[in-house]
Amino acid sequence: MTDDQLLRYSRHILLDDIGIEGQERILAAHAVIIGAGGLGSPAALYLGAAGVGQITVIDDDTVDLTNLQRQIAHTSERVGSSKVESIRAAVHAINPEVRVTTLQQRADAALLDQLLPEASIVLDCCDNYRTRHLVNAACVRHRTPLVAAAALRFDGQLMVIDPRDPESPCYACVFPPEASFEEEQCATMGVFAPVVGTLGSLQAAEALKLLAGCGQPATRRLVMFDSRRLDWSTMQVAKMSNCPVCSNHM
């Protein structure tokens, strides 16, 4: 670690649970972020600020004026530009040392199979139920830790999946992929801006804990947030023995 890095990351290094070794693990890590919107914005900014060595951001959308109410990595000047390039500019404004790879496309199985063998962790910041299951299945296949979150209206939820842990349930253990699900979008239902900031920041926190090897990750739990009442609740979740996704990867 250089003198500049020792200074930049000194507040992490001062933490006994992280120290120099933990920060070096963060610097050597590769995080893949699916989605560059409300959740992906704070997640990418905090991972970049913390010094994650390589960040790959995947999103096929462009910045719209309606995004600016909550998607804090984007600016008025970048309306009309790709969200992934806007994220790259925002991260580099904080920490130019981070290698940010941008992919302006939708995540599919082929792309994830290409990226995940090289990835240290995946953050699912998308707003699509089908994509969440696709990402979960790819992470199970490649035994890559996954931090998944979702937010709508005043509510949010977070789940950490670690396929390296034989007792860790996957996303499909809790939300069956074959279930009938009516997709609800914030474009029609609305979303309270700080909710995505809160959940995206928590995704970054859980990812950094896993990368640095500190703390207790939120595996085997579904964490739910109600911002109307400032209420947090946690539901214990168990691995399904007949899960169609992870039962064959035990």
Can you give the residue ranges of every domain in the chain?
3-249
Q: Cβ–Cβ contacts within 10 Å for residue 75, how many?
A: 14
Query: In whole angstroms, what is the distance from residue 38 CA to residue 180 CA?
Result: 25
HSE-CB at 240 with a 13 A cutoff on CA atoms is 12
Q: Are 102 and 85 in contact (CB under 8 A)?
A: yes
- Give pTM, 2 decimals: 0.94
Report CA-CA distances (Å) from 138 to 2, 14, 44, 114, 209.
36, 36, 21, 10, 21
Largest CA-CA distance found in the chain, in angstroms, rounded: 54
Domain 3-249 -> CATH class: alpha beta
186 classed as catalytic: yes
Residue by residue, what is the 3-state secondary structure of 53-107? CEEEEECCCECCHHHHHCCCCCCHHHCCCEHHHHHHHHHHHHCCCCEEEEECCCC
Tens of pLDDT along the chain (250 residues) come to 899 999 999 999 999 999 999 999 999 999 999 999 999 999 999 999 999 999 999 999 999 999 999 999 999 999 999 999 999 999 999 999 999 999 999 999 999 999 999 999 999 999 888 999 999 999 999 999 999 999 999 999 999 999 999 999 999 999 988 765 555 555 567 899 999 999 999 999 999 999 999 999 999 999 999 999 999 999 999 999 999 999 876 5
Report CA-CA distances (Å) from 151 to 42, 49, 129, 133.
13, 23, 12, 16
The owner of tokens 């580099």 is 92
Beta-strand pair 30-34/121-124: parallel
Task: Return the SS3 of 38.
Answer: coil
Catalytic residue among 125, 139, 173, 186: 186
Task: Return the SS3 of 143.
Answer: coil
